[in-house]
Structure 1
Amino acid sequence: MSEWLDSWYGSLDLAHRSMVNYESVIRVHIKPYFARRTVGEIGIMDHRAFKKHLKTVLSSENSRKAVLNVFSMAMDDAVSAELRKTSPVERHRRRGKYTKKKRERKKGMTPAAVEALARNAHAVFGPAGYVFMWTMATTGMRPAELYGLTREYCYPTWPGSDQRDDPDEAERYAEDVVRYGKGEGLMPAVRVERQVQYEGGGLQFFPPKYESLRTLVVPPFLAEMLERLLKEHNSRWVFPSISGGNLRSANFDHKYWRPIADGAKADEGPRWPGERLALPEVSAFTGKRLYLIRHGAKSWLDEDGHSRFAVESRMGHEVPGVEGVCSSVTVPMERAIMKTLQERWESVPGRMGDAAWG
């Protein structure tokens, strides 16, 4: 099994994050459990025992499912490689006690809750923290895309600063210049071209998840804050950490996000220089994932009645069928999105705004 898993993994050609996850699953769970077995002798009962074993070592159903999916694919390909006649994985029928799937409980994201998160983020890593939260809430960008956002792909420098290194995108480059940017008749926007992930012990750029390169218009208030933020620091990263480095390197989820969402005492966690006050919890996000801000961003667009195609495209999702082939995101659609997001911002009483810069 170990030899087959090494060979099988070496044959894969997947996105970087998937390759990292598969390697971890194989090394930590599948190889140790089947260390002394051959590919051909593993049967249905072994698969059932493996599932039962995973329940004792992994509390998350999604984590167990990820391990079993990798095992299943490896066994399917073992059949194709003629190492066995059939897969030991049972499909298309349910055995044993029915267990209802648990769904993560979400609370509706309000502009006031985002403002509360932004204020806490300001105390943790300064003006970049305040703008980071409002950027995620209004663009729906994935965390790794925000960590990897650099000046050349951010308003007001983009699209004039676009690297334009893909000859197949020449038509888009030309359209971007007359559609987006700073100036009369142009729409402020950021360009999602990449994300940051660890590889070989350091941070590297990779395409966004599912190759979902896209342009995201931003409301006027956010355009002003992004422009001011980039004037205030010299980091290549739009949202630098307290030390000026990348937020991914700062272990954002644990060190930054948890105090921002859950609250913290005055002497707990990192703080922007001069900020040592206690942080109040934001009840809608206490104990919740940062990623739920992205979910909330989509809910806002849905609530405001925007085109399904415009919404899914903004989130970096493929729209299937004829709708996906025939539809396009138009200027009126983008201006409507800018308008409703601006109105949500303006609905927050006593928002920090310019005070984020002292």
Structure 2
Amino acid sequence: MARRAQDVYTEWRGGTCRVKWWTGEYHDNGRKRFESEGGFTDEDEAYEHGLEKMSEIRRGDHVSNRDGATLMSDWLDDWLEAMDHGHLTERGYRSAIENHIRPYFKKRNAAVKDIDVLAYRAFRKHVNNVIGPGSAKNVMMIFGMVLDDAVPRLIKTSPVERTRRRGKFKKKAKERKKDVTPESVEQLARNARTLFGQSGYVFMWTMAMTGMRPAELYGLTREYCYPNWPATDPRSDPDEEERYGEDLERYGKDGERMPAIRVERQVQYEEGELRFFPPKYESYRSLVVPPFLAGLLEDLLAGHDSEWVFPAMQGGSLGAVNFDYRYWRPIADGAKQRVGRQARWNRDAIPEVPSFKGKRLYLVRHGHKAWLDEDGHSTFAVESRMGHEVQGVAGVYSSVTVPMERAMMKSLQERWDRLQERLRRSEG
């Protein structure tokens, strides 16, 4: 072995030269830890390679042989363990990893260092062949995050190919939406009532008049709904005592207080069990409701004893069923009359609602925002009501005042009143 420089050594073995360099680390016995690489036919080339490795170590971008040999499956375990995201985001990441990324690379026994641009393209081709383009794009996005986070510990640079826009700008296709009219919501509500009773009717109008997300409606329980809330608020957070007091003064059934719903949680499945989680983006908020909806909610809760404001056909939370398939598609797309031996399941035919046929339930929520925008309400008040985080100066200085809430209540009630007048004329 010939010493060519401090902590860099070269030696010939057979017909090839090997270089060794100090990693900057020590073994438990105090001896220096070295790494090596062989296969060189030129000693000067091997020596320069060792010097470059020492330079990488000083710069902090060196990948040790030990770290570079980390299996992709092991790195995925570490990456998942370090995640700190909301429940739905984490569930989506885990699904992509366990269903697509891990099986592919575990089958190939691939180390992280083995995933270069060509391996990245091969995986992308595989994913595009087995799942739809939207899902494939999501899987590749997550895979890119996994590889980016491996730099510089396990790989020097990420092989992820970033999309660079060149040439003529092409606008992305946007979902085509039709105006949400009160008449269309009324038909949706009537269809829902045919399907699962008065709970369905009030469910649709609550979504249209509050903009609540589906999972927030599925998880709405009595203690957070008018006329019970805020008197029945569990008040579980000692840091929110000031808000609890303000809610009692501002919202309620008696006097000058406003009827309202408290969005405090949503329901999602975790480990095969339906559980409560914070609302999306932790968008806790209080939503005033127009008088007609307050009346519907009060009558609905008086008419059943379920803990859920909108119980499913068989009881329990709507979050426990496939709502889109079993409820929403017949409500929006229509369904034939059902007659069978069990009278409880019999129902009339359900007409389609053309503006919602084949569309998402979420568009009812979008319609609520459009209504508030049409009526000229404060942008901050509207975005806050939708559960959006308002950025910039407006997010720091603005707040939702009582006059703003009363104005929204008034315009929503007027929209309902105009609808009832039109329905009386057309049906009378």
For the criterion TM > 0.5, the same-fold answer is yes
Partner of 1:256: 327
> Cα 1:162–1:280, aligned 2, differ >3 Å: closer, same or farther?
same
> Cα 1:60–1:247, aligned 2, differ >3 Å: closer, same or farther?
farther
Structure 1 residue matching 2:351: 3-state secondary structure: coil
What TM-score do you get using the length of structure 2 for normalisation?
0.78
Cα contact 1:125–1:272 (8 A) shared by 2: no
Structure 2 Cα separation of the partners of residues 65 and 119 of structure 1: 38
Cα contact 1:242–1:272 (8 A) shared by 2: no
Deviation of 1:60 (Å)? 4.2
- Structure 2 residue 365 is the aligned partner of structure 1 residue 294: yes
Describe the superposition over 1:211-233 as per-residue Cα deviations: whole angstroms up to 9, x where unpaired.
Answer: 00000000000000000000000
Deviation of 1:299 (Å)? 0.9
Cα contact 2:182–2:415 (8 A) shared by 1: yes
Q: 1:175 aligns with which of 238, 246, 264?
A: 246
> Cα 1:39–1:2, aligned 2, differ >3 Å: closer, same or farther?
same
Structure 2 Cα separation of the partners of residues 268 and 258 of structure 1: 19
Opposite residue 170 of structure 1, the aligned amino acid is E
Partner of 2:43: none
> Cα 1:94–1:43, aligned 2, differ >3 Å: closer, same or farther?
farther
Opposite residue 53 of structure 1, the aligned amino acid is H
Partner of 1:356: none
Q: 1:28 aligns with which of 92, 99, 102?
A: 99
What TM-score do you get using the length of structure 1 for normalisation?
0.93
Runs of at least 5 residues in structure 1 that lack an aligned partner in the other structure? 354-358
Cα contact 2:225–2:262 (8 A) shared by 1: yes
Structure 2 Cα separation of the partners of residues 352 and 74 of structure 1: 56
Opposite residue 141 of structure 2, the aligned amino acid is N
Partner of 2:141: 69
- The within-5 A match list for 1:206-225 is 206-225=277-296
Runs of at least 5 residues in structure 2 that lack an aligned partner in the other structure? 1-71
| Sequence identity percentage | 64
> Cα 1:99–1:27, aligned 2, differ >3 Å: closer, same or farther?
farther
Higher relative CO (CA 8 A, sep ≥ 6), structure 1 or 2?
A: 1
Structure 2 Cα separation of the partners of residues 267 and 11 of structure 1: 51
Structure 1 Cα separation of the partners of residues 423 and 146 of structure 2: 53
Say which structure is richer in strand. 2
Q: 2:126 aligns with which of 30, 43, 53?
A: 53
Structure 2 Cα separation of the partners of residues 188 and 311 of structure 1: 18
Cα contact 1:151–1:236 (8 A) shared by 2: yes
Deviation of 1:77 (Å)? 1.1
Deviation of 1:96 (Å)? 11
Describe the superposition over 1:49-76 as per-residue Cα deviations: whole angstroms up to 9, x where unpaired.
Answer: 3333333233242x23321221111111
- Structure 2 residue 258 is the aligned partner of structure 1 residue 187: yes
Structure 2 Cα separation of the partners of residues 60 and 205 of structure 1: 32
Opposite residue 57 of structure 1, the aligned amino acid is V
CA RMSD of aligned residues (A): 2.3
Cα contact 1:155–1:227 (8 A) shared by 2: yes
> Cα 1:170–1:104, aligned 2, differ >3 Å: closer, same or farther?
same
Structure 2 Cα separation of the partners of residues 295 and 108 of structure 1: 10
Structure 1 Cα separation of the partners of residues 165 and 111 of structure 2: 27
Cα contact 1:148–1:195 (8 A) shared by 2: yes
Opposite residue 151 of structure 2, the aligned amino acid is V
Deviation of 1:268 (Å)? 8.6
